């Protein structure tokens, strides 16, 4: 895998970046090939790296009273990092795990900040991603707070129809804030229509 391919992909998914910016980015990022179940970030680490998923999917999760709670999914074309750690420079409350063989572009915070300062278009991309994330989180609060378990599941399917094929149901359940059993029952009653 070459940097240029991934760069072209980013420019296509988001928006074009200048040549200088890409050149600079190439020298400050690393391409990673990760196996399924690779842990990219562990709880407690200062997770100062952000990842672009060129291929594959990943999740952020944390442990609440020993239970594994999925907080975020990312698929190809998305970025993923421990936002708390990355943006506040504190130990990460999250783990980040790759859910399928993946190709990632990794950049550390220092480079990220330097490039943001130096290249206006890079800065704009960062701002855009953060803004989109904010809007997605806001939507999710509405969903989590006032929808039934069934509505939450159907909503997720609307946005992400094939997620059940790519992610174990237990992760989907905890992401939706319901138990695996409830999700199973919803799916059970759903099929036979």
Supply the minimum distance, in Å, between the C-beta of residue 146 and DNA.
9
Interface with DNA: number of residues (CB under 7 A): 17
146 binds a second copy (CB under 8 A): yes
Supply the minimum distance, in Å, between the C-beta of residue 37 and DNA.
9
Residue labelled with tokens 């090939």: 33
Cα–Cα dist 193/173, whole Å: 22
* Binding residue for DNA, selected from 31, 149, 157, 163, defined by CB under 7 A: 149
Choices 8-16, 37-45, 105-113, 138-146; region in contact with a second copy by CB under 8 A: 138-146
187 binds DNA (CB under 7 A): yes
Residue labelled with tokens 């149901």: 169
166 binds, among a second copy, DNA, none (CB under 5 to 8 A by kind): none
> Cα separations (Å) of 165 from 38, 96, 103, 108, 160?
19, 20, 19, 31, 10
> From start to end of 81-188, where are the E strands?
95-98, 102-108
Residue 54 or 112: which CB sits closer to a second copy? 112
159 binds a second copy (CB under 8 A): no
Site residues (CB under 8 A) for a second copy, limited to 106-125: 123
Residue 113 or 144: which CB sits closer to DNA? 144
Cα–Cα dist 48/81, whole Å: 8
- Assigned token pair, 155: 């909503």
149 binds, among DNA, a second copy, none (CB under 5 to 8 A by kind): DNA
183 binds, among DNA, a second copy, none (CB under 5 to 8 A by kind): DNA
- Burial of residue 12 (CB within 10 Å: 0-12, 13-18, 19+) is exposed
Find, among 58, 95, 147, the residue nearest to 157 by Cα: 147
């Amino acid at each position: 895998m070459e940097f240029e391919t991934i760069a072209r992909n980013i420019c296509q998914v988001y928006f074009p970046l200048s040549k200088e910016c890409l050149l600079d980015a190439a020298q400050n990022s690393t391409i990673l090939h990760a196996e399924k179940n690779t842990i990219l970030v562990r709880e407690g680490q200062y997770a100062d790296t952000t990842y672009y998923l060129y291929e594959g999917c990943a999740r952020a999760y944390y442990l609440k009273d020993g239970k594994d709670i999925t907080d975020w999914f990312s698929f190809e074309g998305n970025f993923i990092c421990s936002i708390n750690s990355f943006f506040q420079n504190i130990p990460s409350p999250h783990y980040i795990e790759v859910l399928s063989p993946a190709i990632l572009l990794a950049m550390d915070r220092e480079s990220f900040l330097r490039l943001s300062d130096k290249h206006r278009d890079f800065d704009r991309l960062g701002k855009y991603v953060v803004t989109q994330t904010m809007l997605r989180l806001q939507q999710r609060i509405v969903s989590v707070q006032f929808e039934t378990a069934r509505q939450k599941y159907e909503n997720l399917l609307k946005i992400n129809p094939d997620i059940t094929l790519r992610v174990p149901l237990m992760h989907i359940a905890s992401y939706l804030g319901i138990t695996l059993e409830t999700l199973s029952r919803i799916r059970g009653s759903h099929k036979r229509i």
